[in-house]
Amino acid sequence: MKALPAKDVEHTLQNSRGARVDEDVPAKFAVGDRVLTRNFNPVGHTRLPRYARGRHGVIARDHGVFIFPDTHALGEGMKPQHLYSVHFTGQELWGPDASRCNGVCMDLWDDYLDPA
């Protein structure tokens, strides 16, 4: 792999395409909705951590429509869909002994989520 010359970095970054797409894809969830992450074990790429699979959370934010990295990484198309910040309590992720002060927000796509 050849390194990008320093003089070309700014131009390359300004002309690169981001992962956000301007497509009219209906949102499956709204802020405040309770969701359940899917419990699956794909062979390829995924951004849903194993410790968060099969767990309940709450939609905290809808970031808009983005390229779905799981299909895009495999050359199976962009499959645009909403990306949400989902809040999980510490107890939901790590059990009843976890501190009630702890929680995690994860950015997760429609394909990772079901209604709770």
Instruction: Give the mean pLDDT of 14-43.
Output: 90
DSSP state, residue 4:
P
| Measured distance CA(61)–CA(30) in Å, rounded | 8
Task: Retrieve residue 20's tokens.
Answer: 């956000």
May I ask the CATH architecture of the domain 29-115? Roll (2.30)
Please report the pLDDT score of residue 72 as a whole number. Answer: 86
DSSP state, residue 50:
G
Q: Give rounded-to-5 percent helix, strand, coil for the chain.
A: 20, 30, 45
pTM as predicted: 0.83
| Measured distance CA(78)–CA(27) in Å, rounded | 17
Query: Per-residue pLDDT for 16 more than 70?
Result: no
